[in-house]
Amino acid sequence: MEFTVLQALLIALWVAAVQSRGLGYATLTMRFSPMMTGLVVGIVMGNVPQAMIVTATIQLIYMGVFAPGGSMPSEPAVATAIAVPVAILANLEPTEAIAIAVPVGLVGGYLYQFRFFINTFIIRLSDKYAEELNDKGLFFSIMGLPILVSFALYVPVMFVALYYGAPFIADLTAQYAGGWFFHILSVIGGGLAAIGIALTIHVIGKREYIAFFLLAYFLTFVLKPLNVTMVTYAVLGSIIAFVYVLVTRMQNKE
């Protein structure tokens, strides 16, 4: 599969828009979650099913990552934008794509910090406009200029990484896929996904609700031969939740 200039440019523009928060507050969620970036990459590359399978696996490792003050050790959107095209081009397993997403995400984190450094100069300009009571200047320095800086920074970097880097990595991985090295990467990728789930359970889980988690976990194995869809699981989970709330309310009334 050939990776074109237009595809690389479209994905680079999307990442720049997400990282700049130029699409409104919703872009904050898009930055922290790989799912939307994976969908866009799938649409651009014409393979949404495979893109979402890989992205869902990458999402698992970021479930336990937190962003105090908006700063993350790894950038999910950047990691997904690189790892998913490589996985599609090289036909990698989702767990193998994680091994690519992790280092790329870490580099993306440094790029985001560099953007913060550039914004320190923009803040000085905002202070100047504030002293002058220049509302138009403030709007430009607070809203417009940071978005322009983000696009000027991310579009060329992501385009080069995608157009030249993604096919090179894909060819390299396709050449050595199936060997011991990628077997190790696959095992590590599966472990990172498990760590992400474990961290989420540790943060939001309560002891009295662990039984529901275990019930859902074992149901996936019991019902797997029946090819049960996620919609069925959602309906079943809703019914169990409704019954639990109903029983709890009845006990409280007594």
Q: What is the pLDDT of residues 37-70, one digit of tens each?
A: 889 999 999 899 989 988 888 887 777 565 555 5
At residue 133, the pLDDT reads 81
At residue 43, the pLDDT reads 93
Helices (H), the chain: 5-20, 26-32, 34-45, 48-62, 76-90, 94-131, 135-139, 145-160, 166-176, 180-204, 210-222, 230-253
pLDDT at 19 over 60: yes
Average pLDDT, the chain: 79
pLDDT tens digits, one per residue of 177-192: 566 666 666 666 556 5
Alpha-carbon distance 63 to 112, whole Å?
Answer: 20
Structure tokens at 75: 């950038």
Task: Work out the number of other CB atoms within 10 angstroms of the CB of residue 173.
Answer: 22
Between these two residues, 178 and 133, which has the higher pLDDT value?
A: 133
Alpha-carbon distance 77 to 58, whole Å?
Answer: 10
pLDDT tens digits, one per residue of 205-230: 667 777 787 888 788 888 888 887 77
Q: How many Cα neighbours within 13 Å face the side chain of 109?
A: 16
